[in-house]
């Protein structure tokens, strides 16, 4: 089986998202696979069509998250030897994720099932991404015991 070249993993920093990051990292081939970790900051500016740009407060928060994501990606790279690309966007979560998928050539999107960790029913963002984005989507369940067993 050939390794995936470009993987997108949306993250809200929840345990479900961490499961997706671990699985995607385990599936990746060092020196071949690029993983984009995408966090969408739910900015109020994107929800109000009358505003043309992000609020300065939102931009500052996005910059702070970017610094944390850069460090996170460096840590992941040292562990998995895969190229990670952090990306922070502001706006409506599923719309921004779907737009990013449409604008880029991803072989696979890996997303955690939901953020509440109660069950394995996909949350609304996950369901919208599966329904509206034209890319293969792998949904990772809560309580993933061993990501390597799924990839072996």
pLDDT of residue 83: 96
- d(Cα 24, Cα 17) in Å, to the nearest integer? 10
Determine, yes or no, domain membership for 1: no
- d(Cα 10, Cα 95) in Å, to the nearest integer? 12
Count of beta carbons in the 10 Å neighbourhood of residue 31 = 9
Q: The domain that contains 91 carries what CATH number? A: 3.40.50.620
Task: Please tell me the pTM assigned to this model.
Answer: 0.82
Asked whether 81 and 32 are in contact (CB, 8 A), the reply is: no
Determine, yes or no, domain membership for 81: yes
Segments forming the whole domain that contains residue 119: 6-151
Quote the number of domains for the chain.
1
- Secondary element (H or E) of residue 87: strand 83-90
Determine, yes or no, domain membership for 36: yes
Determine, yes or no, domain membership for 69: yes
pLDDT lower than 50: segments of the chain: 46-52, 149, 151-152
pLDDT of residue 147: 54
Determine, yes or no, domain membership for 52: yes
């Amino acid at each position: 089986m050939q390794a995936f070249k470009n993987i997108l993993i949306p993250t809200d920093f929840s345990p479900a998202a961490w499961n997706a990051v671990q699985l995607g990292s385990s599936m990746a081939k060092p020196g071949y696979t690029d993983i984009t970790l995408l966090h969408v900051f739910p900015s109020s500016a994107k929800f109000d069509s009358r505003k043309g740009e992000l609020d300065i407060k939102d931009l500052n928060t996005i910059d702070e998250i970017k610094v944390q994501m850069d460090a996170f990606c460096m840590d992941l790279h040292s562990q998995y030897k895969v190229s990670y690309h952090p990306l922070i966007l502001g706006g409506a979560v599923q719309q921004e994720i779907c737009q990013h998928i449409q604008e880029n050539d991803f072989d696979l999107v890996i997303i955690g099932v939901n953020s509440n960790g109660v069950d394995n029913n996909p949350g609304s963002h996950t369901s919208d991404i599966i329904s509206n984005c034209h890319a293969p989507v792998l949904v990772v369940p809560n309580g993933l015991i061993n990501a390597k067993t799924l990839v072996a």
